[in-house]
Amino acid sequence: MPRSLPLSALGIMLFCNVAWAMNIVVSKIAVATLDLPPLFYTVLRSATVVAVLLPLLLRGRPDRLPLVLLIGFAITGGSFGLQFIGLQTASPSAVGIVNLSGAPLTVLFAILFLGEEVRWRRGIGMALALGGVGLAIGAPSEAGDPVGLGFAFAGVLVGAFASVFVKRLDIGAATLQAWAGVASLLVMLPATMALETGQIAAVEAAPLAVAGCVLFAGVIVSVGAHSAYFMLFQRYDANLIVPLTLLTPLLTIAFGTWLTGDTIHWPLIVGGAMALTGVAIIVIRPSRTVFKSWLARPKV
């Protein structure tokens, strides 16, 4: 594989980071400003992904379909739904920091279930990352209700747990996204009908804004950015690609401060710096059992 990235690849990675960071802000606007029920927003996003990737679904059922649906739901709809609930009261900046816990949690689950061996450097990275996220969640600030951040953390937890088993699936990334969208619809559509109200009213109040949020999340992020990222991951060495995703939390804080008026206090700054340092250590060290692309890639 090439030992350096061309400017075109760096440009694509910049697009991915901007899309992932903006997606957290857009999701905050959808569930907090436009008052879209979070599970219903998950349904709309999943339906968009299924519509765009429908040709992949028509090629036939993948092997071990029940497992594909279960893992696909966990890494998309299940994780997204919890994080969207959290974004109702938590700031995008704080959720961006919480998302950094995905890397150490993925490694932790790999230790427990896949026999991953972790040496002292990655152990320090895990401790730094989880400690920094804990500081960001627990310290009182204007970053948001700790309960909201707890839901966001639960979303990362679910996604990290499922991520360690993705390697056991013989399926392409885009096809997995397509079937994950189906699984999310099967679960989240009944859930929003049973647990939420005001779905139609929220859409009717601002149809163009809702459509913009949904299309951005479903087409630009889920299909566009994720597909572009995996294309680069297949073409270039993981050590060149994965560390670049650490730009996402920094951009999330910048966009949150600019677009939604997030207030950044020292617990979030210190916690974010700790978590970012820890994740950097984790993604630079090789992993024997986990796809390196899942260690740092944002799960929202």
Tell me the per-residue pLDDT of 55-114, one tens digit each, with 9 for 90 and over. Answer: 999 998 998 999 999 999 998 899 999 999 999 999 898 898 888 888 788 888 888 887
For each successive 10 residues of the chain (300 residues), what is the average pLDDT? 76 92 95 96 96 94 92 91 94 88 83 77 84 76 74 91 82 88 96 96 97 95 86 73 80 88 79 86 67 59
pLDDT recorded at residue 43 = 97
pLDDT recorded at residue 2 = 59
Q: How far apart are CA 83 and CA 151, in angstroms?
A: 6
pLDDT recorded at residue 289 = 61
Backbone φ and ψ for 115, nearest 5 degrees, come out as: 75, 25
Give a yes or no: residue 244 inside a domain: yes
pLDDT recorded at residue 153 = 92
pLDDT recorded at residue 122 = 76
Report which residue type is found at 273: A
Q: Give alpha helix (H) positions in 146-172.
A: 146-163
Q: Which single residue is written with the structure tokens 């999701």?
A: 27
Give a yes or no: residue 1 inside a domain: no
* Total-model pTM: 0.88
Give a yes or no: residue 207 inside a domain: yes
Give a yes or no: residue 2 inside a domain: no
Give a yes or no: residue 286 inside a domain: yes
pLDDT recorded at residue 295 = 61
Give a yes or no: residue 217 inside a domain: yes
Q: How far apart are CA 57 and CA 178, in angstroms?
A: 7
List the domain range (segments joined by +) for residue 61. Answer: 7-296
Q: Taking every pair of C-alpha atoms in the chain, what is the biggest distance, in angstroms?
A: 54
Give a yes or no: residue 243 inside a domain: yes
Residue 163: CB atoms within 10 Å: 26
pLDDT recorded at residue 140 = 54
CA dist list (Å): 16 to 12, 215, 238, 239, 284: 6, 16, 15, 17, 19
DSSP 219: I
Give a yes or no: residue 127 inside a domain: yes
For the chain, the domain total comes to 1
Helix (H) or strand (E) holding 224: none
Q: Among residues 104, 120, 157, which one has the least CA distance to residue 276?
A: 104
Q: Are 74 and 159 in contact (CB under 8 A)?
A: yes
